A and B are shown apart, each in its own frame.
Chain A
Amino acid sequence: MSALIEAAQPKCEEDAVASQAPIRLLVVDDHPAMRRGLVELLDDQPDFRVSGVACTAGEAMAAAGAQRFDVAVVDYHLTDRNGLWLSRRLNRLTQPPSVVIYSAEADGMLAAAAVAAKAHGLVRKTDDESRLCDAVRVVAGGGLVLPILPWQVSEVVRRRLDSEEQAIYGMLLAGFPVAEIGPMLGVSSAEVESYLDAMLRKLEPVGPWDCHP
């Protein structure tokens, strides 16, 4: 069910150097027990260092503005905004962290919307915890860990997105950065960003889970 696409990225020498230093993590979850569990689990990994913890999307943005993180591990359900919104905002920082969304569900519209929100990873809470750690390592190295969309979901994606948006969606799935997508389609980066906003609106789960506007 949750087979992974791990888009291989070209390795460069800087990565090899960076991999010596621990991966700096920001943990965002509104549930105290979850936060504690996540921090303990991730801090236990020899190559990780949890250097920031936030309860809300607002706190997370503040933390990410003040300090540089390599990866943000974000719960989808937050009290103020959801993880998709946070992912979009984090991606607009000058030195954006990679984002892993940690959620109870990862096979519905959330999986489709995560692409448009430019999340790099989506991990199910019921999966083995090692999955989360592996996903953090992959996205820290520039890769993507997104679940394959079930056909019912990809059908909805096809139906809801127009042809330009579908093209952008495909490129995002293949791991192209926004800076490269613009020139390929002959539009500015700002236009790509507004396409992304529109796509996220069309794909974002509207289910009862998403009770936080």
Chain B
Amino acid sequence: MAVMSAEDPTRGGRRARRYVPLFHRVAAVNVFLLLAAVVVTIAVLDPDRISSFVVNEEIVVLVAAVLVMGLVNLYVLRRFIRPLQALAALARRVDLGGRSERMPAAAPTSEAGELAITFNQMLDRLEAERREATGRVLAGQEAERLRIAQELHDQVGQELTAVLLVLSRLQDRAPDELRARVLEIRDEVRSTLENVRRISLELRPEALDDLGLASALAVLGQRFGEHSGLEVVQSISPELPQLSPEVELVVYRVAQEALTNVARHSDGDRAELSLTGDDGRLVLVVSDEGRGLSPDQLPGTGMRGMRERAALIGATLEVANRGPNLGGCEVRLVVPLAEPAGGSAR
């Protein structure tokens, strides 16, 4: 399965190290100090023998002692340094988009432990702030969409309709040589009006407010059929649990984005949409039989938008190819409902 969250080599990947690691440096200093201490000790205890002949056995004992002390030193050092390395590795791969990893077994028993605890707290804070910021941005986006949709509907739509009425009247009165042209213009205005209406519906799914999620998804699928020729086969469970408006909007937007992707990129002409609710979770799956994702494909803005929306309600979003013999790709949104749904959205 070629999951789309493949690591971005320019940012998330491991950098080439350009310095001598702390472990090596401390170890080197320690070994040097150890040797110096041995030499100084010998010199202090028995200065006469420094320049004279050294007995073989004494060298062996000294070397062995230095080796043992060095190894103990390295072992202890390694134990201290390892948590720091683990922390660095986690810091490198951590992803603030969803619920990310934390340092395990962080206990305040050492400086490294304290650091891990602080690090975890910082991640908690960053994630909360990021969620809040995303929530604000998306809420602002929805409000802006609503405003534009209303403007299109109330202003542009009304004006085009008025023009349409005038053109209809002109058509009856126009001289013969102009009548065909007037008719043509009228049809163009009419199709522009249809487009304005479609765009304003895409911007703001009024069906969601009026009909609820299940019917709104059905209407969405039908519209895709009408406008982009994509056949959307739907299976929506008739008994969905009660959902908060936030959850409904996220599910709707993810379905909309996923179907848009299928219509634009998959080369397929059929998509399946299923929505089921059981075991305390709501699962939306949109799959197609198109050409699927290429392994090096990076998530686009639409995909990132879906992920951010999902994170807002504590849901997870996976985008993956359906497997070698099936073809096409699958978007799966899993919304946990056990905890109060939408409670984590703010």
Contact = CB atoms under 8 A, between A and B. Distances in A.
A77 B200 CA distance: 16
Interface residues of B, number: 31
Given A126-B193, A129-B165, A152-B215, A108 B206 contact: yes
Interface string B158-184: 110111111011001000000000000
Interface string A90-133: 00000000000000110011000000000000000110010000
Contacts of B197: 104-105, 126
A37 B165 contact: yes
A209 B153 contact: yes
Given A44-B169, A104-B157, A152-B219, A208 B211 contact: no
Contact of A34 (B161, B169, B209): B161
B204 A129 contact: no
Contacts of B153: 104, 209
A156 interface: yes
A153 B165 contact: no
A38 interface: yes
A129 B162 CA distance: 11
Central interface residue in B146, B150, B209, by most chain A CB within 10 Å: B209
Contacts of A31: 158-159, 162
Nearest to A109: B210
B46 interface: no
B294 to A, nearest CB: 37
A126 B194 contact: yes
B216 to A, nearest CB: 8
Interface in B134-161: 146, 149-150, 153-154, 157-159, 161
Contact of B165 (A41, A105, A108, A208): A41
B134 to A, nearest CB: 22
A209 B169 CA distance: 29
Contacts of B207: 108, 152, 207
B218 interface: yes
Nearest to B191: A126
Interface string A150-194: 101101100000000000000000000000000000000000000
B322 interface: no
Given A38-B165, A40-B166, A208-B146, A33 B210 contact: no
Contact of A211 (B150, B164, B168, B190): B150
Contacts of A105: 197, 206
Contacts of B159: 31, 33
A36 interface: yes
A52 interface: no
B161 A109 contact: no
A126 B194 CA distance: 7
A205 B157 contact: no
Nearest to B142: A208
Nearest to B238: A155
A152 B223 CA distance: 13
Nearest to B164: A129
A198 interface: no
Nearest to B154: A77
24 contacts: A33-B163, A37-B163, A37-B166, A40-B166, A41-B168, A41-B169, A44-B169, A104-B153, A104-B197, A108-B206, A125-B164, A126-B194, A129-B165, A152-B207, A152-B211, A152-B215, A153-B211, A155-B215, A156-B211, A205-B209, A207-B204, A207-B210, A208-B150, A209-B150
Interface of A: 31, 33-34, 36-38, 40-41, 44, 77, 104-105, 108-109, 125-126, 129, 150, 152-153, 155-156, 205-209, 211
